[in-house]
Amino acid sequence: MEVDCQNKSRDENRKDIVVILVGAPGSGKSTFCEDVMRTAHRPWVRICQDTIANGKAGTKSQCLKSAADALRNGKSVFIDRCNLEREQRSDFVKLGGPQVDVHAVVLDLPAKLCISRSVKRSGHEGNLQGGKAAAVVNRMLQKKELPKLGEGFSRITFCQNEGDVQNVVNTYSALGPSDTLPSGCFGQKNPDAKIQLGIMKFLKKVDAPDTVGPDVQTCVSKQDTSEKLPSQKETENVKLSSCKASEVTEGGDFPRKASDVPTLAFPSISTSDFQFNHEKASDIIVEKVKGFLDEVGNVRLVLVDLSHGSKILSLVRNKAAQKNIDSNKFFTVVGDITRLYTGAGLRCNVIANAANWRLKPGGGGVNAAIFSAAGPDLEIATKDRAGSISPGSAVVVPLPSTSPLYKREGVTHVIHVLGPNMNPQRPNCLGNDYIKGCKILSEAYSSLFEGFASIVRNQTKTVVSDKKFRSTSSELHENLLERSLTDHYNIDQKVKRGGNYGSESNKKCKGLREEPLVHMMSELDEKAILSVSTDTMEKEGLEHDKVGGNKVWGTWAQALYHIAMHPEKHKNDLIEISDDVVVLNDLYPKAQKHLLVLARLDGLDRLADVQKEHLSLLRTMHSVGIKWAKKFLSDDASLIFRLGYHSAPSMRQLHLHVISQDFNSIHLKNKKHWNSFNTAFFRDSVDVIEEIDEHGKATLNDERMLSMELRCHRCRSAHPNIPRLKSHISNCQANFPITLLQNDRLVIAPNGAVNEA
DNA sequence: GTTCTAGAAC
DNA sequence: GTTCTAGAAC
C-alpha cells in the first residue's frame, strides 16, 4: 500500500511532530500556525476544528482522524483548538509514538488580551466574535489546566507575551525535516500556580485524598473555621468591622480555597428605595430562602445590609430562627456587599444586585456600589446579557476575571434582580397593591435563587466532567450531575459557536445551558419557580417575550439601535439623518421600495414603548416616510406605498416601514415575511398616530398573525405557498380592499387612482 | 432579521 | 426526486 511504502522509505532518524496548541480564543493559535507554516522547512498540516468539516466546525474525532492521516503521510501536525483542559488534549497526546513527538505550545497570554481580540475580530472561522466572545473566553479560561510533561508531552513551551510567541514561531519554522527539539518544559515563569487551580477546583467538591495534605478540607461535610461564620446557635450579625481581610494574591487568580461553598450574598430587594413593607418582605425572604435550601444542598445564602440598625435584617433573622433554618446555610451580614471578602473574610462567589430596570449603573445604594466596585467590566458583561429587566426577574451576569470585584473579592457572578416598586416617587409604582407586590417580590427571589442554582450547577459540571466523579447530595443535585455528564460532550462545540448564553436566541436550546438568563415574568406559573428542569428553562425563555411585556434583544437584533444611536458611524447606509430620525433602505427589502424611518430616541425600542409623549415624533416619522414615498412616486407613478409598524418587531428601535405594495423582492421568502406586512400585525402609521392620540397606546396584534394562511393583499385569494402567492401577486391587478383605501392608509401618485374593491 | 437544513408535502 | 416549510442556530 502507498502509505506503507512511504513509511518504509522515510528517514529512520526522522520524527514527525504533533504540536498541540493550548490557548483561549484570541490567544493567537491560528496566527501562530500560519506564521510557522509561512516559512517552515518541514511539511506541516494545521488541523483546525473550526474549519475541519468543509470549512465549518467539525468534531474532535474528525480532527483526530485528519491528524493521524497527516502523520501517516509524513507530515507534522498543528492541533489548532483550545485544548485548555487536560481531558480535551489527552486523545491528541496519544497520537505520539516512536516516530512521533508530541509537543505543547501554550499561548498563555493575558486574558484581557484574548478577550479584546476575540471581541474585536471579525470573520473568525469559529464564529466566535463580538460581545459574546468575552463571556466565552472568560469562562474557558476559568477551566484552564496548563499542560504537564506527565500527560505525555515530550516538550512544552509556554508563551506569556507576544515576544515569547515570536521566539517559538522562529523555533518551529526553522525546524528542518530531520530536526528535533530538546525535551522538557520551556518558558514557564510560574510553574505551579495555575496547574493547581484545576486540582483545587476538584478538591473543592469531593472528599480530599489523604495524600493531599492537612490544609485541604472538604466543603461537603465541614465548614472552614477560618471564615467568620456564625455557629448554629448564634443569631448575631457578622460585623465587618470586627473581621480582618484574609490573604489576597496580587493581581493573579483569586485564591480558591477547598472550603469555598457556593455562596450568594444578596441585599433585601425592594425594601429600601422601593419602600416595600419590611414585615411582608421579611416573610417572603424567609419563605423563599427556606424553600431554596430545602431543595439545593451545599450552598449558602447571605442577606446583606449596610446599616447597623437594619430592621429588615433583624426581622429576617428572627423569622429564620423561628423556622429553624440552618444558620450555617443562611445568615445575615451588616456591611458592604462589595467588600465581603476583604472586609469580612467571607467569600461569596455570587452577589445579587438590586438593579434598575435598564440595568445601568448609577442611582444609589447597592446598584451604584456594585457597578462602581466591579468597574466597566460589569457594565459590558451586563449589556452582553440583557438590555433591561422586568420586575420579578433576574439576569445572571458572569463577571470577567479582569473586574476588581472578581480579583479582589472572588465574585464570579453578579445577578441583577428587580423587585416591585411601592414608592410613588419611582417609576411603575404599584400603589398599595401588596397582592401584586408580594407576588412580584416572591418571583424576584425565585429568579435570583434559580440564577444562583444555575451557577452552582455549572460549577458542579466542571468538576464532574473533569474527573468523572459523582458525589451525592439531594435528589436535585443528583439530577444535575446526571445532566452534566451528558451535556459535557457538547461543550466544545457550543463554546466555539460563541455561546449566545442567556439571550433570546437560546430559548429553545436543549441540553447545555450555562448560567441562563433567568426571567420569571409575572405571567409565569408559580410552579416553574425553583424547578431546574430543561423544560422549565425553555418555558422561561419562551414566555418572557410577550407583546407589551419586557423584551430581551439578541445581538443580531440591535443593528438598528446602533444606527439610531450613532448614525455618524453608518453614514454610507443612511439616506437621511435628522435630530429625530434617520432613514435607510431596508437591508433585505421585501418590495421594490422598502425604507425604514428610524426613531433616534433611546429607550423607544418598539411600538409597545410608544406613549402620548412620543406623538410628535410619530408624526415626524410619518411625514418623513410620506416625503420619501412621494419622491419615489415622482419617479414611478405606478408604485403604491403603505406606511406602518410591526406589532412585535424583530429588530430593536422603533422603525416605520415605508414599503411599496408590489412585494416584488427575492428577500420575501416565507409566510412570516408576507404576513408581517399583510395582516393586522402590520399597524398603519395613520392608525397608530390616531390611537396614541386618543388612548395613549397603540393596538398590538398577536404574533400568531404571522402563521395565518397566505392571502393576496389585493383580491384576498388564498394561496398554498409562497412561490404560488408570489406568482399570483405579480399579476393580480384587483382593487385593494376598502379598509386599505380609507384614511390614507395607501399612498399613491397625485394623479393615480386606486379603485375600491 | 437571515441562513441552514431535515423532513414534510407534493 | 424536487419543492417548500418550519424550526434551530446565529
Please state, in angstroms and rounded to a whole number, the distance separating the CA atoms of residues A89 and A95: 11
Whether residues A495 and A586 share a domain: the answer is no
Local confidence band at A162 (pLDDT 50, 70, 90 cut-offs): confident
Q: Which nucleotide is nearest to A559 (CA to C1')?
A: B1
Closest Cα partner for A331 from A271, A277, A265? Answer: A265
Whether residues A598 and A700 share a domain: the answer is yes
Distance B5 C1' – A56 CA (angstroms): 15
Kindly tell me the sign of the dihedral angle through the C-alpha atoms of A462, A463, A467, A468.
negative
Alpha carbon of residue A581 to chain centroid: 30
Is A727 within 7 A of strand C by CB distance? Answer: no
Whether residues A591 and A480 share a domain: the answer is no
Q: Tell me the one-letter amino acid at A254.
A: F
- Sole residue written with cell 384587483: A734
Please state, in angstroms and rounded to a whole number, the distance separating the CA atoms of residues A171 and A36: 9
Is A56 within 7 A of strand C by CB distance? Answer: no
Task: Tell me the β-bridge partners of A158.
Answer: A106
What's the structural domain count of chain A? 3
Hits for CB < 7 Å against strand B across A residues 150-209: none
Whether A132 has a pLDDT exceeding 50, the answer reads: yes
Is A718 within 7 A of strand B by CB distance? Answer: no
Whether A11 has a pLDDT exceeding 70, the answer reads: no
What is the mean pLDDT of the segment spanning A76-86?
89
Task: Find out whether A605 and A653 touch, Cβ atoms under 8 Å.
Answer: yes
**Residue A30's domain is classified under what CATH number?**
3.40.50.300
For residue A756, being part of any structural domain is answered with no
Q: Tell me the one-letter amino acid at A738.
A: I
Task: Quote the strand ranges of A372-528, DSSP E.
Answer: 394-398, 413-417
Closest Cα partner for A476 from A684, A295, A700, A710? Answer: A295
Q: What range does the domain containing A439 cover?
A: 243-506
Please state, in angstroms and rounded to a whole number, the distance separating the CA atoms of residues A700 and A73: 64
Is A588 within 7 A of strand B by CB distance? Answer: yes
Distance C10 C1' – A231 CA (angstroms): 50
* pLDDT, greater one: A737 or A513: A737
Is A497 within 7 A of strand C by CB distance? Answer: yes
Distance B9 C1' – A128 CA (angstroms): 37
- C9 C1' closest Cα residue: A505
Please state, in angstroms and rounded to a whole number, the distance separating the CA atoms of residues A518 and A250: 34
Task: Find out whether A653 and A601 touch, Cβ atoms under 8 Å.
Answer: no
Task: Find out whether A200 and A254 touch, Cβ atoms under 8 Å.
Answer: no
For residue A513, being part of any structural domain is answered with no
Task: Quote the strand ranges of A606-704, DSSP E.
Answer: 641-646, 655-660, 682-684
For the CA atoms of A305, A309, A310, A313, the dihedral, rounded to the nearest 10 degrees, stands at 90
Please state, in angstroms and rounded to a whole number, the distance separating the CA atoms of residues A436 and A422: 10
pLDDT of residue A64: 87
Is A647 within 7 A of strand B by CB distance? Answer: no
Does residue A644 sit in helix, strand or coil?
Answer: strand
Is A676 within 7 A of strand B by CB distance? Answer: yes
pLDDT in tens, A560-593: 999 999 999 999 999 999 999 999 999 999 999 9
Local confidence band at A94 (pLDDT 50, 70, 90 cut-offs): confident
For residue A27, being part of any structural domain is answered with yes
**DSSP states of A694-729:** HHSS-----GGGGGSPEE-TTT--EESSHHHHHHHH
* pLDDT, greater one: A129 or A107: A107
* pLDDT, greater one: A451 or A522: A451
Whether residues A424 and A563 share a domain: the answer is no
Lowest average pLDDT, out of A305-319, A526-540, A655-669, goes to A526-540
Closest Cα partner for A219 from A246, A236, A201? Answer: A201
pLDDT of residue A489: 25
Is A86 within 7 A of strand C by CB distance? Answer: no
Distances (CA, A) of A398 to A95, A381, A489, A639: 36, 7, 22, 52
Is A620 within 7 A of strand B by CB distance? Answer: no
Q: Decide which of A186, A204, A225 is a domain's last residue.
A: A186
Task: Find out whether A575 and A611 touch, Cβ atoms under 8 Å.
Answer: no
Positions in chain B where some atom is under 7 Å from a protein CB: 1-3, 10
Is A509 within 7 A of strand C by CB distance? Answer: yes
Closest Cα partner for A330 from A244, A438, A452, A218? Answer: A452
First to last CA, chain A: 78
pLDDT of residue A255: 54
Task: Tell me the β-bridge partners of A595.
Answer: A585, A658
Beta-strand pair A655-660/A641-646: antiparallel
Is A556 within 7 A of strand B by CB distance? Answer: yes
Q: Which nucleotide is nearest to A511 (CA to C1')?
A: C8
pLDDT in tens, A54-79: 676 777 888 888 888 889 888 999 99
pLDDT of residue A222: 29
Q: Which nucleotide is nearest to A725 (CA to C1')?
A: C4
pLDDT in tens, A133-154: 676 777 677 777 888 888 888 8
Distances (CA, A) of A95 to A64, A99, A290: 8, 10, 52
Distance C8 C1' – A506 CA (angstroms): 9
Whether residues A148 and A272 share a domain: the answer is no
Hits for CB < 7 Å against strand B across A residues 500-539: 505
Whether residues A361 and A283 share a domain: the answer is yes
For residue A308, being part of any structural domain is answered with yes
Does residue A682 sit in helix, strand or coil?
Answer: strand
| A227: phi then psi, degrees, rounded to nearest 5 | -85, 150
For residue A545, being part of any structural domain is answered with no
Record the cell numbers describing residue A320, joined without a space.
Answer: 429564620
For residue A153, being part of any structural domain is answered with yes
For residue A757, being part of any structural domain is answered with no
Distance C10 C1' – A545 CA (angstroms): 19
Q: Decide which of A441, A475, A506 is a domain's last residue.
A: A506
Residues of A acting as catalytic residues: 655
Please state, in angstroms and rounded to a whole number, the distance separating the CA atoms of residues A282 and A303: 11
The 10 Å Cβ neighbour count of residue A542 is 12
Whether A92 has a pLDDT exceeding 60, the answer reads: yes
* pLDDT, greater one: A553 or A213: A553
Whether residues A584 and A718 share a domain: the answer is yes
Q: Give the max Cα distance, chain A.
A: 93
Whether residues A489 and A583 share a domain: the answer is no
Whether A511 has a pLDDT exceeding 70, the answer reads: no
Please state, in angstroms and rounded to a whole number, the distance separating the CA atoms of residues A510 and A506: 9
How high does pLDDT run on average in chain A?
Answer: 76
Distance B6 C1' – A545 CA (angstroms): 27
| A106: phi then psi, degrees, rounded to nearest 5 | -100, 115
Q: Which nucleotide is nearest to A499 (CA to C1')?
A: C10
Kindly tell me the sign of the dihedral angle through the C-alpha atoms of A44, A49, A53, A57.
negative
Whether residues A559 and A492 share a domain: the answer is no
Please state, in angstroms and rounded to a whole number, the distance separating the CA atoms of residues A395 and A418: 9
Distance B3 C1' – A331 CA (angstroms): 51
Task: Find out whether A334 and A230 touch, Cβ atoms under 8 Å.
Answer: no
Exposure letters A638-663 (e unless 16+ CB within 10 A, then b): ebbbbbbbbbbbebbbbbbbbbbbeb
For the CA atoms of A296, A506, A548, A427, the dihedral, rounded to the nearest 10 degrees, stands at 50
pLDDT in tens, A333-353: 888 999 988 887 788 999 999
Whether residues A580 and A446 share a domain: the answer is no
| A414: phi then psi, degrees, rounded to nearest 5 | -115, 130
Whether residues A251 and A174 share a domain: the answer is no
Positions in chain C where some atom is under 7 Å from a protein CB: 3-10
Is A490 within 7 A of strand C by CB distance? Answer: no
Is A500 within 7 A of strand C by CB distance? Answer: yes
- C3 C1' closest Cα residue: A723
Long-range contacts of A186-189 (CB under 8 A, 24+ apart): A186/A155, A186/A156, A186/A157, A186/A158, A187/A157, A187/A158, A187/A159, A187/A160, A188/A146, A188/A156, A188/A158, A189/A158, A189/A160
Q: Which nucleotide is nearest to A560 (CA to C1')?
A: B1
Percentage of residues in chain A having pLDDT higher than 90:
39
Distance B5 C1' – A164 CA (angstroms): 44
**Residue A586's domain is classified under what CATH number?**
3.30.428.10
Q: Decide which of A162, A186, A210 is a domain's last residue.
A: A186
Local confidence band at A193 (pLDDT 50, 70, 90 cut-offs): very low
Task: Tell me the β-bridge partners of A643.
Answer: A658
Task: Find out whether A739 and A687 touch, Cβ atoms under 8 Å.
Answer: no
The 10 Å Cβ neighbour count of residue A174 is 14
Q: Tell me the one-letter amino acid at A70.
A: A
Closest Cα partner for A218 from A473, A412, A486? Answer: A473
Q: Which nucleotide is nearest to A128 (CA to C1')?
A: C10
Distance C2 C1' – A723 CA (angstroms): 14
pLDDT of residue A225: 35
Please state, in angstroms and rounded to a whole number, the distance separating the CA atoms of residues A251 and A110: 12
Please state, in angstroms and rounded to a whole number, the distance separating the CA atoms of residues A50 and A73: 23
Q: Tell me the one-letter amino acid at A576.
A: E
For residue A481, being part of any structural domain is answered with yes
The model's pTM is: 0.37
Whether residues A260 and A122 share a domain: the answer is no
**DSSP states of A12-72:** TT--EEEEEEE--TTS-HHHHHHHHHHS-SS-EEEEETTTTBTTB---HHHHHHHHHHHHH
Residues with Cβ < 8 Å from A481, sequence gap 6 or more? A460, A464, A470, A471
Q: Which nucleotide is nearest to A676 (CA to C1')?
A: B1
Is A707 within 7 A of strand C by CB distance? Answer: yes
Distance C6 C1' – A678 CA (angstroms): 20
Q: Which of A110-114, A292-296, A693-697, A716-720 has the highest mean pLDDT?
A: A693-697
Distance B2 C1' – A683 CA (angstroms): 23
- C5 C1' closest Cα residue: A670
Is A559 within 7 A of strand C by CB distance? Answer: no
Task: Find out whether A637 and A643 touch, Cβ atoms under 8 Å.
Answer: no
